[in-house]
Amino acid sequence: MGIRARRRSIAHKKTTTNPSVYNSLVIEDGAIGYWPLGSGSTDNDLSGNNRHLSWTGTQPTSQQILGSMVGGVNLNGTSLSRHPSATVDAVWNSGQSIEAWVKFTSGSDMAIMSLRNTNEHYALYHNSTNNLVLAVAYDSGMLVQTVNTSTPLNDGSLHHVLATWNSSAYDIYIDGVNVASGNFGSVYSPSSSSTYLTVGSEIGPVRQWNGQIGHVAIYPTKLSVAQAIAHNNLGRGVAPPPPTPANAAAVWWADDISQADGSSVATWTDRVNGIAVTQSTSGSRPALDADGLNGKASVNFDGVVDWLGVNSAISTSNTGCVVAVFRTLGSTNAETVWCASSTSASQQYLIARTGHTTVDQIGIQSHHGTSQDCVWQIDESSFGTPNNRVVEWGSNGSSWSMRLENNTKTLIKRSGDSSPDTGYWMNDIASHNAFTIGAERFISGPLYTLGQYNMRLAYLGVFDSPLSTQDRYDLYKWIETYYGITGMPGLS
């Protein structure tokens, strides 16, 4: 495909922050300490690790920092500080992350959080020149490395702050945007000794906070950019966009369609490279449903005539995967979620479908020329019944795989079929001439379509290579959080 177009900025729907969903996101992303703050003289650690915090001095005023969502306090910058009732057993082997929500106007030198033991000290603070700073000290404080983001926060607006680092690299995010990244000048080996933690000050107390602070968390890992964006968006009640890893070739998301609810969809443009699938025939266009899948947008295909397509290649690699989030509505055999076809001499035809001889199967069909036709499939007794589905079809170039909701399935060649090279997967999808959604499409000889699928499609992503462990986690966590479909693979 050559040089990819710049990714477009998409405006997202504002919703109400769901406390249970946001709290679950923090906990499931591995927080070893999570304190919303403002629950009384003692703030419980919601991570389940019993690292409860207690106030010294006067108990501060509760201040719900995320709208109606419980959590947050207003500190006065003089006598108030947050200390643990017990030491924090911080195991910083693979990385560290500090997270908080803040809102203030003071220009004082003051700390959001500090962690310290005998040999190490980590602090995230807003300095006297109004810049967010991360300081890391180790070897009994002899080696100090400071990252100044040159970004002020004291504008009276709500800000999400996340500092992430490991033994060499760091990334700092403000409101989901990376404001500082790089490598530390020296490599250090963090210990696993007990660590004292303060919120709203450093040990002493010094650098005491003046303003609102809440939903503070620490993690024993370096969180990803997708996680930074997801936490910021979900905390603000903003519909988070799907993560788009570097290997994304095309991502169609129904929320990107700016049309009236119920209107017909003539064009659906992917958010990565601007690839548009279209339908010129008005009677064969699917419809936009603003709340078609668990209250979120979907493109609804009638299973009779509706489909969208583009006459170009989507992927450029001989390995990769396709992920779809949709709701099964009909129960007719041979229904198609997506299809790639070619006019080359050895015609390559790939299709993901529910059923070939029954409605209790989901798989991949590969057709080469006129003599080789093979279906790899799995049995899924309830697949033909109306239900929300998440399916990942993938190949490493020599073998097939499929993830269906919360299980990884082994695809089996249909009995009696010929056996074309399983490596035909993305090797041929890279040279195909057409890609369709919602129907099969032959473009060799007379043009025709069949196998229309009665479904509500919310998301379809095509990737040039298999998803990494982190990319799969980010994507499936987004699916679980945004669509409310639980039990996603890769989250355990």
pTM confidence score: 0.67
Query: What is the per-residue pLDDT for 426?
Result: 46
Most confident of 53-57, 279-283, 332-336: 279-283
- Give the C-alpha separation, 233 to 243, whole Å: 12
Q: Does domain 248-483 have CATH number 2.60.120.200?
A: yes
* Residue whose entry in the numeric block shows the structure tokens 């702050």: 161
Determine how many CB atoms are found less than 10 A away from the CB of residue 90: 25
- Give the C-alpha separation, 335 to 330, whole Å: 9
- Give the C-alpha separation, 305 to 450, whole Å: 8
Whether 347 shows a pLDDT value over 50: the answer reads no
Q: Does domain 19-235 have CATH number 3.40.50.1110?
A: no
Question: CB of 22 within 8 A of CB of 234?
Answer: yes
pLDDT (mean) for 56-85: 74
pLDDT per residue as tens digits for the range 309-337? 988 778 666 677 889 999 888 666 667 88
Q: 3-state class of 282 per DSSP? A: helix
Determine how many CB atoms are found less than 10 A away from the CB of residue 258: 8
Question: What are the Cα distances from residue 11, in Å, to 79, 239, 250, 268?
Answer: 42, 9, 19, 16
pLDDT per residue as tens digits for the range 351-410? 666 555 555 667 776 665 554 555 666 666 666 677 778 888 776 666 666 777 656 666
Measured over the CA atoms of residue 100, residue 101, residue 106 and residue 107, the dihedral's sign is positive
Calculate ∠ Cα 380-384-385, nearest 5°: 110
Question: CB of 200 within 8 A of CB of 257?
Answer: no
Question: CB of 381 within 8 A of CB of 369?
Answer: no
Treating both helix axes as pointing N-terminal to C-terminal, what angle do 469-483 and 19-28 enclose, rounded to 10 degrees? 170
Which residues of the chain form CATH 2.60.120.200?
A: 19-235, 248-483
- Residue 486 token pair: 């639980």
- Give the C-alpha separation, 308 to 460, whole Å: 13
